[in-house]
Every structure is written in C-alpha cells, then in structure tokens.
Structure 1
Amino acid sequence: MSSSSIPTAQELIGRARDLAPVIARRALECERLGRLPDESFADFRDAGFYRILQPKRFGGYEHDMYTLLEVTREIGRSGCCSSAWVLAILAIHNFYLGYFPPQAQEDIWGDDQDTQTCTPFVPAGTITKVAGGIEIRDGRWTFASGCDHARFALLGVLVPDDAGGPPEYFQCVVPVGDYQIDHTSWDVVALKGTGSKDITVTECFVPTHRMFSLSKVAQDIAPGREINTAPLYKQPFFAASVCSLIAPAWGAAQAALAAYEERLQSRMMVFGAGKQADKSTAQLRLVESAAEIDAAGLLIKRNCDELKALADAGTQSTKVLRARALFEGAYATTMLTRSVERLFVASGGSALHEGNVIQRCWRDIHAINSHAGMNLDNMGELYAQVRLGQDIDHGLI
C-alpha cells in the first residue's frame, strides 16, 4: 500500500467522530444482541480502523498507538463502550500479529487483509507436543471479545518443557473451523455488547509456525520483526498494547460527563430545592470529574509518546518505563471510574433508565476497571518493586 493511499491520523479521527452518532443510535441494539452489530463491524472496517496498527506489507497503515487511542476514544464518546471495546480489541490484535512468525501472518492475511482475530489470553486445554507442532485437547477459553467477527482465534496455551522446567506460554493461531463459540456463555451486566464469549476446542493440531511465544516476547524476542521493521513493532509488546484498552473507558467517561453537564442545565431538584445547576455541590461534581478525565488522558498520552520516541530512536525501553506505563494505565482507568461514579450518583433516579447513557457508561467503565490489565493493586505492586530496584522477573515487562 502506497503512503498516498494511507489516511492520516487526523482523517481517521475525523471518521470516528463522524461515525460516533451512528454508533450511539445502535447502543441499545448492541447490548441486546450481546455483540457488535454487523453494520458497526462493517463501518469500522470500511473506515480503516482495524488497519491502524496493521503491518503495511498486509495492507495496514502502521500508525502510532496514540492514533488508535484517539479513534477508539471518539467511538467511546458515543456512549456505546461495547462498540469501542471491540474496536480496540480487534485493532490491537493486528499490532500483536506484527510480532508473530511471518508464515502465521501470511496464513491470516494472505487471502484477505481484512481478516480479524479474537484473543483469549488465559491458558487452557491439554497440550501435547507432536511432530511439527502441538495438539490441543479439551480446552475452554473465556473472554474472547469480538469472536463473532473473527476468523481465527489466538489461544493461550502452556507447552510443557521437556527438561522439566517451567512451561512456555504461547499464543496459537487456530482457524474458526477448529474451535467452537459457546453463544450461551456471555450473560453479563456490563460490556454486554462485546460478545466476549467462551471458545472451546475438542481436538486440533497447531503447526509450529502458528505458535508465538509470549514468554520470549517479554525478552524482546519476536520473529515478526524480521519482516515488520517499523519502529511501531519495536515497542514493548504488553506495556504499549495495554494502553489501547483504556481508550474505551476514556471515551465513556467523556460521554457521561457531557450527558451530566447537559442534564444539569434543566434538572430540577425535588421538594422545591431549585435547579441542580445552581447547587455548588453539583458544580463541584462536574469540574472534579472533568479534571480527573483530563488528568487520565494526559497520563495515557505521556506514556504513548515516551514509548514511541524510544522506538523511533531505536532505543530499548527500560523496565521502569514499562512498569510505570502499566501502572499508570491502571491508575488512569481508576480515575476515569471514579469520575463516572461521582456523576452517576449525582444524576439521581433518572440515570437508571436503560436509555440513559450515564448508567451504561457507569456499568461499562466498572467492567473495564476489573480487567486484569487494569488491576491497580497488581500493577502498583509491580511498578513499586521495579522502582525500588527489587530483583523480579515478570512476564509483562
């Protein structure tokens, strides 16, 4: 793909801003379907959003991580956090795949560069080494967001070590015919429209060239870098990519803030207490939440910028920066959650209606904050240990 045919970051962000009202109108449909509507999946595809971080050799744009965050944030501002989440997940997988063995990338995108993948990370299944690869039996993987629109799953497995050492952690590229989706498994109260269903495998073979070591990528060993040499793919695999999961929460918080501020102008308090907009407490809720949302955004951008600058310079990021980025991502998400919690409580009973964007953002942002990558305690402990110079070996950094 020539550089002249690649949309600029601002063009992509503008497309997301224009599309957000359409996504907003589909928000209830998305929740009731329990997955991203087909029309929204197609709109994101046609706008080029899934290609933002995809390798150029397979039709991608190779933009920076922050471009994906801004595009996802704009979709999140629609108030349909589920749609923004699926967009972020599918698009970040195309960043992951840039690190995978070249033949695995060819298998996925060789015939169709719009092919998408789902990624249940947590290892499962019984794994046996066989000639030319591994055999997976009797596995169930949870939280396969966007699986209804994927043609491959990147399944987490632990492969036994022949010498009796710790197993090696892999992601395996498995085509849709070799796994099944349990459509009854996604019955939740938040992020309802993400279709993060369970995936099962009875038995399948995975060739070695479709196996990617998550254990080794933490040591900056990634075979895909042989063909994808752009600075984008020199960034730390986990610290950079987890940033993308914050963007739906960022957009949702902004959507909740906008809805609260608009409602504040006309909402009358009960028992003759007057307009809510005249109350100093309501005013404080507004500006305190706005400040937290802005502060979270600044943390996200700083980390994206620093990781990108080091990659552009060909300099390896430090463990301290990687750990800080992971912690500050969790901290930013916690701030965003607090901001929406405050607005939801201040909005009164009217916020409970199904069509009210504040309650949807409140539910969804709490769900994002519960994601393992956003766990404040775990990420805080990791960052503190690294800052204190403790000798630790952690797969995320």
Structure 2
Amino acid sequence: STGWVASVVGVHPWQIALFDNKAQRDMWSDNPDARASSSYAPTGSVRRVDGGFHLSGRWYFSSGVDHCGWVLLGGVIPDDGNGAEFRTFLVPRQDFSIDHESWNVTGLAGTGSKDVLVAGAFVPDYRTHRIIDVYHGTDPGFAVNERPYFRLPWRLVFAYTIAAPSIGAAVGAVDSFIEQNRARVSAYGGPPVAQNPALHRPLARALIAVDVARTRLSATWTEFLSRLENGQPIPYERRAQALYEAAFAHDSCTAAIHELMGVNGGRTMRADGALQRFFRDLLAMRNHPAANLEFSGSLFAQAKLGVEPPPFDPTQRFVL
C-alpha cells in the first residue's frame, strides 16, 4: 500500500508540470512539498461558467488523499458547440471533502483510496489540463518545462507507475515464501520442506516472472527516454507493445504468486500471514484499468497486424 501511494501520488507532479505555469505556482509557490491525489474517472458533474468551470459530485478511489492538499479530478465538459472534451481539474483541499467511510476493502487497504466529494467548486480555466493538448503535444506546461521526459507517452507514464508496486509486491511475496520455507520441517516428518519438489517449479517461475517484469519495463523506459533525448519519435506500435508489457507484468506476477499460495501449506490462510496479504494487494492492483490485459493486448496485436490505431476520442482520459 505504501508503494502504491508513493507511485500514484509521486507521478502527479509530472502531469501538473504540463498545466499552465500559473496553476503550478498556485500549488507549489507557498509549499514546494505540496502533493496531489487523483480520481480521473469522470463521475462528477462539470459545467462551464465565466472564467472556468463549476464542479460538483463524488469521485472515487483517490489513493493517498488523506496526505494531500490538492486533488486532480477528471471530468467531461458537455458539448457546448465545440464538442465534448475530457479535462483534468486541479482542486485545492478547501474545495473538497473526504468520505472516510468509503474505503473498506480486502486489498490495498492501507492506500486509503477514499471518495472525494465536491459541493460546488469553481476551478479557473488555467487550472485545467486538456486531453486535446496531450494529443496534439501542445501542453501549456511545455513553455517552462522543456526536458524530454515531459513528452513521455501520456498513457504509459501512468501504466508504468502502477506496474512498479505490483512488481514490488511480488518481490515481497517471493521473499516471504523463501523465508517461510527455507528451514521449515513438515509436521509429518521426512526431509525439510525445501527439498519438496512441489515447491521448486512454482518458486522458480515466480523468481523469473518478477525478474522478467522488472527488467523488461526498465529496459523499455530507458529506450523511450533515450529516444526522446535524441529527438526521435516513439512509434505507435512500440507504444502499444509497452502498454501491454505493463499489463503483462501485473498478470504474470499475480499468477506466479497465486501458484505459490497453492504450495505454501495451511499457514498461507492465516490472517496475519504476509503471503496472503501480498496476494490480496496484487489482486487489487490487477483490477486497475491500466492492468487490463485484454484491452492492451488487443491494441498491440492489431498494431502488429497492420490495423490502424483507434481514432482520437477527446472525451477519454488517456492518449497512447
């Protein structure tokens, strides 16, 4: 849970750096350590008013919100003649409340991913981020933040952000399994459990699954940064592959730890057991939209088969 919150909250400064510089000053001029949580699904109400927008409603799953003085909220602006569009709205703490009873879960319980309530808040236009600007590469923050990594593919930044804690949870689960079974002796006698062949292949699979996921994602990120630093574009097919790699990391790590659960004995189900806690956290992460293996796999496979990328939809949050 700590890794999840650190990853999710930790990536938001990257996006806020794409906002108008005035929004960045609003957030950081008085407190350089200010943090923002987020809830991007457009579940609240947004309408245009003079100079900005009026927000109200409930937004869900805002990880780490208790530790943040700001929140990024997603919303779709209704068609006012120029077409509907998705924006992210930067909202200060005084303009939202937290539903502290909204987070009662079996996985990632420590993230405090609670609901955010807005009872009529004004957000000036400059404190919004347009997905259309992401698509066209015209983010206003580029005027002050010129480093290449600010031009990393939008969707991949967030997909890789949440793949990292999934890999970390799998590492913790493998370490816990090894610690439990290294010197364990069966209650029925015989050789040490470490010599039981039933444990060997699942452990080997888990070790390699974790290593492959970590190595692959790190290599892809290094490649993309190198391309941007050298002024080279990242082809769509490669971006689609990278999105699938992130989802595959979730899937392979979760499946590998699930198999370890099946050979760890009855102690696995103890409520205070580390292995089952890691597994519940992995299941929770696996259910995030960015870990959707079928969606990302379809994009990647279609790209390899020569199918044109889906058309840009200005009402959706992500641009690949």
Match of 1:147 in 2: 65
After TM superposition, give the deviation of residue 361 of structure 1 in Å.
0.6
Q: Describe the superposition over 1:22-42 as per-residue Cα deviations: whole angstroms up to 9, x where unpaired.
A: xxxxxxxxxxxxxxxxxxxxx
Q: Give % identity.
A: 32
SS in 1 for 2:16: helix
Distance across 2 between alignment mates of 1:247 and 1:157: 27
Q: Residue 364 of structure 1: SS of its match in structure 2?
A: helix
State the TM-score, normalized to the length of structure 2: 0.94
Aligned partner (choices 215, 220, 223) of residue 140 of structure 2: 223
**Alignment correspondent of 1:358:** 275
2:39 maps to which of 89, 109, 120: 120
Cα deviation code 1:60-108 (max 9, x no counterpart): xxxxxxxxxxxxxxxxxxxxxx000011011101111111111111111
Give yes or no for contact 2:134–2:319 (8 Å, CA) kept in 1: no
Contact 1:108 1:115 survives alignment (8 Å): yes
- Which 5+ residue runs of structure 1 have no aligned equivalent? 1-81
Partner-residue secondary structure (3-state), 1:286: helix
**TM-score, with length taken from structure 1:** 0.76
Alignment-derived partner of residue 315 in structure 2: none
User: Any conservation in 1 of the 2:198–2:263 contact (CA below 8 Å)?
Assistant: no
Q: What does residue 311 of structure 2 align with?
A: 393
Runs of 4+ aligned structure 1 residues displaced above 6 Å come to none
User: Aligned to 2:91, what secondary structure does the other structure show?
Assistant: strand
Give the partner amino acid of 1:127.
V
Partner Cα separation in structure 2 for residue 215 and residue 330 of structure 1:
25
Question: SS in structure 1 opposite 2:262?
Answer: helix
Cα RMSD, aligned residues only: 1.5
Report the CA distance between 1:164 and its aligned residue: 6.2
* Of 139-148 and 153-162, the range deviating more from structure 2: 153-162
Distance in 2, Cα, partners of 1:148 & 1:168: 29
Aligned position for 2:223: 306
- Counterpart position of 2:19: 100
Name 1:133's counterpart in structure 2.
Answer: 52
Counterpart in the other structure of 1:51: none
Which is further off, 111-120 or 312-321?
312-321
Instruction: Pick from 217, 226, 242 the counterpart of residue 325 of structure 1.
Output: 242
Deviation at 1:273, TM superposition (A): 5.0
Aligned pair partner of 1:157 in 49, 69, 75: 75
How far apart are residue 263 of structure 1 and its match?
1.6
Partner SS, residue 99 of structure 1:
coil
Structure 1 residue 390: deviation in Å?
A: 1.9
| Cα distance between partner residues in 1 of 2:68 and 2:208 | 38
Map of 1:255 onto structure 2: 172
Distance in 2, matches of 1:179 and 1:215, equals 26
**Partner of 1:88 in structure 2?**
7
Note if contact 2:131-2:319 (Cα within 8 Å) is conserved in structure 1.
Answer: no
In structure 2, how many angstroms separate the alpha carbons of the residues matched to 1:98 and 1:116?
13
Higher relative contact order, structure no. (Cα contacts within 8 Å, ≥ 6 residues apart):
2
Preserved contact between residue 97 and residue 116 of structure 2 (Cα < 8 Å): yes
Q: Contact 1:240/1:304 (CA < 8 Å) preserved in 2?
A: no
Q: Which residue of 1 aligns with 2:182?
A: 265
**How many equivalent pairs are there?**
314
Structure having the higher helix fraction is 1
Aligned to 1:27: none
